[in-house]
């Protein structure tokens, strides 16, 4: 590892934040078009945390969410996770299926949410790829409805064999300003962080 | 109620409750000595410290976290030979998986059982495997372990 993620410069941090901002911005624009509703995002947070603290930072290990996880491969390795609260999941399903009170546990609706996550992550990742000039592939999505900690712990376990800290990008988004909300989490492998930071250093 | 984080452990005495939240592939181990009302909980992430890059946090691994927890309980007055274990977690949340995370839940459970066997602590209840998350609560009043899930209800052991 060339760079220490606990030791980034201000310039590197703002460049990273900007890249994520553009990526998530593109993703929510796709979401907004899909459901014909306004979707707002917060300025992405960028945190360097002990891996075992990640569930707390993401909102709590026991909050129940609809989670979609995708594995990133290619020039960089990592994970993208989209977490939606129960209400948000239902809202998105209601809008897309044009029904009321959809059952979010129905397999059809689960695959619908899975596909929404895939589309969002797809536009996010293609914007990252373009910006950084890296080839990043995205795996098929995996969706489940469960406790946040349980959904992501195997990813944190995998990360923890390679590093102690994780660089965590989290972006909250809101649909039409309601309390319904969602969260995007991105985690990169330590070696992949090196590659990304090298690209950034060349640019700035 | 004491909340035990990921890769964390704690000891408590009657009537304080111990809990750990959202176990997926991780395993939650609760130890209890009924005669003294001393209980302990650890939330492990990995089977063994041996291949770990960083060995700072013993509570992260089954093979170091469980013996360390037992030691802390004995310091609090628990009797080792009266201590029993209840374990939960070790799920495989997704059916996919790349090589590195192959059955990490199962490996965590195996390492947990091995460690408890070496310490001669009997496992009197387990709620492990399958594909859903669990939150556990140990009541040091009576040693009961409550296992909560998002969709599969609540069980008490």
CB atoms closer than 10 angstroms to residue A101: 8
CB atoms within 10 A of CB B56: 8
What is the pLDDT, as a whole number, of residue A56? 87
Q: What is the 3-state secondary structure (H, E, C) of B94-121?
A: CCCCCHHHCCHHHHHHHHHHHHHHHCCC
- The DSSP 8-state label assigned to residue A24 in this structure reads H
CB atoms B54 and A164 under 8 Å? yes
**Beta-sheet strands, E only, within B45-143:** 83-89, 123-128, 134-139
Nearest residue in B to A54, CA atom? B6
* pLDDT-flagged residues of chain A (< 70): 1-6, 44, 177-180
- Residue A178 has a pLDDT of 61
Give me A94's structure tokens.
């209601």
φ, ψ for residue A160, nearest 5 deg: -70, -15
The average confidence (pLDDT) of chain B is 93
Structural domains for chain A? 5-203 (3.40.1550.10)
Residue B133, phi then psi, degrees to nearest 5: -85, 160
pLDDT of residue A177: 63
Dihedral sign computed on CA atoms, order A8, A9, A15, A20: positive
Question: Which residue in A105, A139, A149 is closest to B24 by CB distance?
Answer: A149
- Contact: A146, B132; criterion CB under 8 Å: yes
pLDDT of residue A34: 81
ipTM computed for the complex: 0.90
How far apart are alpha carbons B83 and B8 in whole angstroms? 20
Strand spans (E) along chain A:
39-41, 45-50, 64-74, 78-85, 136-138, 142-147, 165-175, 181-188
The domain segmentation of chain B, as residue ranges, is 2-150
Q: Which residue has the tokens 């059952």?
A: A103
Instruction: Report the pLDDT value the prediction gives residue B150, as an integer from 0 to 100.
Output: 93
Query: How far A203 CA lies from chain B's nearest CA (Å)?
Result: 32
Q: Is the domain covering B2-150 a CATH 3.20.20.70 domain?
A: no
Q: Identify the three-state secondary structure at position A106.
A: coil
| Closest CA of chain B from A114, distance in Å | 13
> Looking at CA atoms only, how far is residue A133 from chain B in angstroms?
26
CA distance A6 to A166: 9
CB-nearest to B22 from A142, A147, A164 is A147
Indicate yes or no: CB of B93 within 8 angstroms of CB of A158. no
The shortest CB-CB distance from A150 to any of B24, B52, B54 is to B24
Q: Are A34 and A111 in contact (CB under 8 A)?
A: no
Sheet holding B38-44, edge to edge: B9-13, B38-44, B27-33, B83-89, B123-128
| Residues in chain A closer than 8 A to B100 (CB atoms) | 158, 161
> How many Å apart are CA B2 and CA B12, to the nearest integer?
8
How do the pLDDT tens digits run along chain B, 157 residues long? 999 999 999 999 999 999 999 999 999 999 999 999 999 999 999 999 988 877 889 999 999 999 999 999 999 999 999 999 999 999 998 875 555 456 899 999 999 999 999 999 999 999 999 999 999 999 999 999 999 999 999 999 9
Of residues B94, B121, B130, the one with CA closest to residue B29:
B121
Nearest to A61 by CA among A173, A179, A156, A190: A156
Residue B118, Cβ neighbours under 10 Å: how many?
A: 11
């Amino acid at each position: 590892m060339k760079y220490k993620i606990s030791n980034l410069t201000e310039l590197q941090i703002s460049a990273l934040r900007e890249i994520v901002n553009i990526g998530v911005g593109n993703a929510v624009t796709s979401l907004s078009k899909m459901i014909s509703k306004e979707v707002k995002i917060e300025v992405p947070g960028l945190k360097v945390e002990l891996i075992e603290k990640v569930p707390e930072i993401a909102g709590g290990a026991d909050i129940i969410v609809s989670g979609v996880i995708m594995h990133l491969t290619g020039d960089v390795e990592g994970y993208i996770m989209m977490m939606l609260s129960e209400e948000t999941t239902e809202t998105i399903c209601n809008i897309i299926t044009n029904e009321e009170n959809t059952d979010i546990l129905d397999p059809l609706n689960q695959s619908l949410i899975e596909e929404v996550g895939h589309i969002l992550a797809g536009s996010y990742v293609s914007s990252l790829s373009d910006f950084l000039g890296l080839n990043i592939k995205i795996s098929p999505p995996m969706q489940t409805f469960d406790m946040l900690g349980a959904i992501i712990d195997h990813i944190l376990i995998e990360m923890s064999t390679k590093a102690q800290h994780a660089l965590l990008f989290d972006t909250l988004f809101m649909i039409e300003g309601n309390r319904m909300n969602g969260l995007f989490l991105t985690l990169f492998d330590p070696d992949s962080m090196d590659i990304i930071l090298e690209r950034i250093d060349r640019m700035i | 109620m004491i909340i035990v984080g990921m890769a964390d452990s704690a000891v408590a005495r009657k009537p304080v409750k111990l809990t750990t939240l959202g176990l997926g592939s991780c395993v939650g181990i609760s130890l209890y000595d009924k005669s003294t009302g001393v209980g302990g909980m650890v939330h492990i992430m990995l089977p063994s410290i041996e291949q770990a890059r960083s060995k700072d946090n013993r509570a992260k691994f089954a093979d170091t976290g469980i013996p360390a927890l037992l030691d802390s309980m004995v310091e609090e007055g628990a009797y080792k030979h009266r201590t029993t274990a209840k374990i939960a977690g070790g799920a495989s949340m997704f059916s996919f998986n790349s090589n590195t995370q192959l059955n990490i839940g199962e490996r965590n459970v195996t390492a947990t059982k091995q460690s408890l066997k070496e310490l001669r602590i009997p496992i009197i209840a387990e709620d492990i495997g399958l594909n859903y998350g669990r939150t556990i609560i140990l009541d040091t009043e009576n040693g009961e372990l409550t296992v909560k899930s998002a969709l599969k209800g609540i069980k008490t052991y």
